[in-house]
Amino acid sequence: MRKDSSAAKPKRRKRQYQKQQVLTALLFLAPSLAGVCVFVLVPFVETVRRSFFNVLGNRFQGLSNYISVFQNPGFRMAAANTARFVAICVPLLILISMLMAVLVRRLKPEIGKWFKTTYLVTMAIPVASVVLLWKALFANNGIMNNILVNVFDASPVSFMSTDAAFWVLIFTYLWKNCGYDMILWLAGFDNINAGLYEAARVDGANEWQVFIHVTLPGLLPTLFLITVLSLINTFKVFREAYLVGGAYPESNSIYLLQHLFNNWYTQLDVSRLCAAAVLLAVVLLGIILLLKRAWGDEEE
């Protein structure tokens, strides 16, 4: 009996130590968890509830708010513009930032560090400054039109009142986020085992084969992270579009879902706003889960 009790003491101490670690972790996480619950989860639950009620939130209306959202022409236009923007921007951002990361890795270390710093500066520039730069470049009498007229002898383009505004918005998104994604790619490159490269070269693989069979499989976890972050960041360009074009831009091509949500909010159309927000959250969650499942299948 004594031997059994003495053998059980280390196990008991280990369990007590593990419990203390869990309690310590929970204590450190408690402020963050409380903030997420109070400022994210509780408001979202209330948003879901209000999406099934009237504006005052005191009469149940079923799916009428959702039906009204789908029947609204402004919502259909904003959803189409947003989907088009995401479908173009996310693949372009992933491809361009990866190419930038590959090029930076081939540079000398001191030059590579300089490039990392300069590309991250775009993330620190205030939105108002970006808008001023945008106006200076693409206004009717801006730098781009001066170049078109004086250098190429072409007619000026009204960038902000035609469909060209959509491509200006894409350019702004890529310009601001490429540096950040490039840093994430570089971190992914560093996580790949260097021995795999040596083994591939010993087997006679060329640079392209090494990239396809060693680098890309090793970057799959990073690709998932960058895809999700890029998808989320596409919904942050509203600030630039709103400051330049206002609540109702001259060009319908940059009228995004965020414009619609902002306008419904100012009109106190809370019921439809909540329904549209829930739909957007469900779509984003569905896309992320599909990406997660696809990445999980590839890793297996």
Which 3-state string (H, E, C) describes 249-264?
A: CCCHHHCCHHHHHHHH
- Say if residues 155 and 212 touch (Cβ distance below 8 Å): no
pLDDT at 164 over 90: no
pLDDT at 288 over 80: yes
Average pLDDT over residues 256-270: 86
Tokens 């000398």 sit on residue: 108
Average pLDDT over residues 20-26: 83
Mean pLDDT of the residues in the chain: 81
User: Strands, DSSP E only, in 172-290?
Assistant: none
Average pLDDT over residues 183-195: 83
Terminal-residue alpha carbon distance, the chain: 48
- Lowest average pLDDT, out of 33-47, 196-210, 280-294, goes to 196-210
Residues in CB range of 283: below 8 A, 6 or more apart: none
For residue 278, count CB atoms less than 10 angstroms from its CB and return exposed for 0-12, middle for 13-18, buried for 19 or more: buried
Tokens 């989907």 sit on residue: 83
CA–CA separation, 97 and 101 (whole Å): 6
3-class DSSP state of 156 = coil
pLDDT at 3 over 60: no
Q: What is the predicted pLDDT for the residue at 91?
A: 92
Structure pTM? 0.78
Q: What is the predicted pLDDT for the residue at 1?
A: 46
Helices (H) and strands (E) in the chain, counts: 15, 0
Q: What is the predicted pLDDT for the residue at 189?
A: 84
Q: Report pLDDT digits (tens) over 57-73.
A: 788 888 888 998 899 99
Strand-pairing partners, residue 60, are: 53
Phi/psi of residue 60, nearest 5 degrees: -70, 130
Tokens 């005052």 sit on residue: 56
In this prediction, residue 149 has a pLDDT band, given cuts at 50, 70 and 90, of confident
CA–CA separation, 93 and 116 (whole Å): 16
* Packing angle of the helix pair 164-190, 220-233 (nearest 10 deg): 150
Q: What is the predicted pLDDT for the residue at 108?
A: 65
- Say if residues 124 and 180 touch (Cβ distance below 8 Å): no
Average pLDDT over residues 270-293: 87
Distances (CA, A) of 43 to 64, 114, 203, 258: 21, 43, 57, 18
CA–CA separation, 122 and 120 (whole Å): 5
In this prediction, residue 92 has a pLDDT band, given cuts at 50, 70 and 90, of very high
